[in-house]
Amino acid sequence: MKASELKKLYIDFFKSKGHAVIESNSLVPEHDPTVLFTTAGMHPLVPYILGQKHPLGKRLVNVQKCLRTDDINEIGDYYHHTFFEMLGNWSLGDYFKIEAIEYSFEFLTEILKIPLNKLAITCFAGDDDSPKDEVSANVWKALGISEERIVFLGKKHNWWGPPGATGPCGPDTEMFYWADESKPPEKFDPEDDRWVEIWNDVFIQYEKTSEGKYIPLKQKCVDTGLGVERVSAVLQGYMDNYKTELFWPIIEKIQELTKKDYQDNKKIMRIIADHTRAAVFILGDERDVVPSNVDQGYILRRLVRRVIRHMKMLGCEKSMSILAGEVISIYQTNYSSLNSKKEYILGELEKEETKFQKTLEKGLKEFEKITENSNELLGKDAFLLFQSYGFPIELTKELCNEQGIILDKKGFEREYEKHQMLSRVGAEQKFKGGLSEASDETKKLHTATHLLNEALRRVLSSDIKQKGSNINSKRLRFDFNFDRKLTEEEIKRIEDEINRIIGLNLPITAQEMPLQKALDSGAQAEFGAKYPDVVTVYYVGDYSKEICMGPHVENTKDLGSFKILKEESSAAGIRRIKAVLE
């Protein structure tokens, strides 16, 4: 079964069970200081899992673009990916374990027609935080799964979330498929690789606090996730996701360009195919990301440079745009934005390739020279490779690993800090991070962002539109279209305007309405962002109205005093403001 058919069947099935279809969110999450990319379908839904009402109801389904970067170096096996598509269905305080499992079972056995004897299950074994999940096991048994095919495991395996230190989480039950041609054994051994995990039903019922406590949530939710690539592969009889139609044309192109065989170069070719696909999706995202040394741009740079180096290892140069073209052909039907942004995507990749190709050869020579008589690479040398030859530290580390050389990574970090380039370190920490933080500080800054958005239009130009926003507990960052630097006087006028509004003690209220009605009423919407058919509009008194998910403070009097710290260029025609509340 092709991936596109799997996606359609899944969406149609959950629609028939009363689920509303939501659009895939951007790969770059908004208002989330803790992660750089959307890592799971539940990620954009966190405010709703925590109790906010979703405009489309309590049952949702979607295909979400996800990107996981916790360990880019893992890529190369048959089933891990940086970018992937996740099918998910959610219950926001509606059905719980019984129906969730029944739906999963019905979809697997009746829609996908997987025979019962090819399925096995794991459930949560229980610990001090949460009891053994007998309920799930009993539901599975009632559906016909034999006792021998159900295994109870601990938190490491059967607990999901929070991805960061705090947030919603709970026990899960995972479904496994016998992906081998041989007869499936009666007894399920989760250690046997021929049992491939295909779906995860998470029963979100706790919020983990910063003290490590698990507090029961007011509403119990279901969050499920099924990886499109993996499930299509096993249903097509492949124990290799790269053999499916989602990757094979890219692999064929790599074989053609390098005149080498996949069989002999699996790991390298998988890295190239995986990273090219991820880079195309990052560049093709609604939020414009370009290769850089910070945040999402740094990840993009790492992915692209790793492709370039691996293609070079296979003896091929200048191939980024050819490979990216293959990715676009595979996905353009489902993701039309890849096609409309094709020129931009290929252009950015070519620019990055040209930039890196100039220094890669020299950098590799320098690396050889430095390590010729030594089995250690000093921090200062790694920094030289970074600064003068554009080698991301992870690339240098990979070179060191390949040649048995010890890298002084700490020394590199010291050099890095010395050069006051802390952003990348921050970026690394962010991927390890978790979910939307809704602390009082971020809430206040979020409301202040709405005021800034409106004040810019009133003070500078009515053509101004939000082009991006990022909030953490310390500051807000706001990007908007404007083609020149702001004067000091303008900055002061914007600050005064916002502080005047804050002083009016305006209430913040929210109202749900159809998207078109919201737009017709003049509510602000982020340029290029996708919205569901029904949205929430947040009002700050009658000063600002904006489509948004919240959360916000209740009254502007909670905000304190607004101050702009910095105004700079972010890209051509885009200015960036960083501001704080004091």
Binding site for ligand SER (CB under 6 A): 40-42, 88, 160, 200, 202, 223-225
In the bound state with ligand SER, the residue whose beta carbon lies nearer, of 224 and 244, is 224
Q: How far is the CB of 35 from ligand SER (least distance, A)?
A: 13
In the bound state with ligand SER, the residue whose beta carbon lies nearer, of 222 and 316, is 222
3-state secondary structure string, 249-290?
A: HHHHHHHHHHCCCHHHCHHHHHHHHHHHHHHHHHHCCCCCCC
Q: How far is the CB of 122 from ligand SER (least distance, A)?
A: 13
Q: How far is the CB of 196 from ligand SER (least distance, A)?
A: 14
In the bound state with ligand SER, the residue whose beta carbon lies nearer, of 74 and 554, is 74
Q: How far is the CB of 17 from ligand SER (least distance, A)?
A: 17
3-state secondary structure string, 202-232?
A: EEEEEEECCCCCEEEEEEEEEEEEEEHHHHH
Q: Give how far the C-alpha of residue 40 lies from the chain's centroid of Cα atoms, to the nearest Å.
A: 6
Q: Give how far the C-alpha of residue 108 lies from the chain's centroid of Cα atoms, to the nearest Å.
A: 26
Handedness of CA 502, 505, 511, 516 (dihedral sign): negative
Token pair in block for residue 256: 């053609």
Q: How far is the CB of 30 from ligand SER (least distance, A)?
A: 19
In the bound state with ligand SER, the residue whose beta carbon lies nearer, of 200 and 556, is 200
Torsion of CA 283, 287, 292, 296, to 10 degrees: -90
Q: How far is the CB of 578 from ligand SER (least distance, A)?
A: 32
Token pair in block for residue 419: 């050069």
Q: How far is the CB of 70 from ligand SER (least distance, A)?
A: 12
In the bound state with ligand SER, the residue whose beta carbon lies nearer, of 40 and 246, is 40
CA distance 230 to 545: 43
SS3 state at 389? helix
CA distance 496 to 505: 15
In the bound state with ligand SER, the residue whose beta carbon lies nearer, of 88 and 297, is 88
Q: Are 410 and 381 in contact (CB under 8 A)?
A: no
Residue 438 exposure: Cα atoms within 13 Å on the Cβ side: 17
Residue whose token pair is 């982020």: 526
In the bound state with ligand SER, the residue whose beta carbon lies nearer, of 41 and 433, is 41
Residue number with the smallest Cβ distance to ligand SER: 225
SS3 state at 121? strand
Give, rounded to a whole angstrom, the gap between the first and last alpha carbons of the chain.
57
Q: How far is the CB of 42 from ligand SER (least distance, A)?
A: 5
- 33: number of Cβ within 10 Å: 20
Token pair in block for residue 105: 């079972």
In the bound state with ligand SER, the residue whose beta carbon lies nearer, of 55 and 161, is 161
Q: How far is the CB of 39 from ligand SER (least distance, A)?
A: 7
In the bound state with ligand SER, the residue whose beta carbon lies nearer, of 223 and 398, is 223
- Beta strands at 167-178 and 159-160: parallel, antiparallel or unpaired: antiparallel
